[in-house]
Structure 1
Amino acid sequence: MAFPGLQHVAITVSDLERSTRWYSRLFGADPVLDEDEEGGEYHHTVFALDGGTLFGLHTHLGRESGDRADEHRTGLDHISFGLSGTAELEQWRDRLDQLGIAHGGVKKAHYGTGISFRDPDNIALEFFIAPGT
């Protein structure tokens, strides 16, 4: 049996309004869902990405720690968005520049090529091309 792909990613943010604006600009789209969870545990704002993956922003109704994300702590290291080739990577580099989002430039390694950047809560994100793509 094949292991399934990711259906959605959900991250906790410190300021839902700020993060919703930031991710709306990055994705070039508005959320498809913005509501309190039925049990009242959290509020989520969800974006639909190409390919069917959902990307959710969660706020735990004032119970968040408020700490900035840090990949050196146990938990999430980064989220990577897959690209098809160098031309697309260069387009996203230019798009990040247009949006005023700081990034580390194009980095090449034997395991792939990518551009790393961070969201308002310091969550590490990247655009990535796998080798042979």
Structure 2
Amino acid sequence: MPALDAFSHVSLTVTDPERSADFYNRVLGTETVFSADDDGNRLFIVARAGVTIALRDHSGSADQGFDPSRIGLDHIAFQVGSEAELEAWETSLQANGVVCSGIEASPFGLHLNLKDPDDIAIELFVPKPA
């Protein structure tokens, strides 16, 4: 089977790409690297080392809020390097007024959960050591 080298990017449909880009830039430390408006369908791409997120709106989708129980995306997870890093993220999120879960343990590691402006679930995750 041919190789897959890495995860390239994720594209999220949002109600307001500019508002979402501001959130991801402010909260997750990304930067807007591209924006365009094609006949009212806006696209913002935000990125930081190892992470690229496309944020776009589509005609007719604004009245349908995110629902993780529908077919499609349940949540997006970003791996962080250590429990100390996860604690630093929790402190940073709280300082930015972002509502988040406390750090929680699962059979797979530790995680911290938050939501973006469209209620898309975001997880910051530290895997259990192998």
1:101 corresponds to: 98
CA distance in 2, matches of 1:80, 1:35: 26
Q: Which runs of 5+ in 1 are unaligned?
A: none
Question: In the TM superposition, what is the alpha-carbon distance from 1:104 to its structure 2 partner?
Answer: 1.0
Aligned to 1:59: 57
Matched with 1:4 is 5
Native 8 Å contact 1:49 1:55 kept in 2: no
Residues 1-133 of structure 1 mapped to structure 2, 5 A cutoff:
1-36=2-37, 42-51=41-50, 53-60=51-58, 62-132=59-129
TM-score normalised according to structure 1 size:
0.87
Superposed CA deviations along residues 63-118 of structure 1, whole A, max 9, x for unmatched, are 32422211111110000011110010000000110111111110011211100110
Aligned residues of 2:75 and 2:121 also touching (Cα < 8 A):
yes
One-letter code aligned to 1:125: I
Percent of counterpart pairs with the same letter? 33
User: 1:128: Cα distance to partner?
Assistant: 0.2
Alignment size in residue pairs: 129
- C-alpha distance in 1 between matches for 2:4 and 2:25: 30
Counterpart residue type for residue 109 of structure 2 = G
Q: 1:93 to 1:24 in 2, by over 3 A?
A: same
Q: Give, in whole Å, the separation in 2 of the partners of 1:116 and 1:6.
A: 21
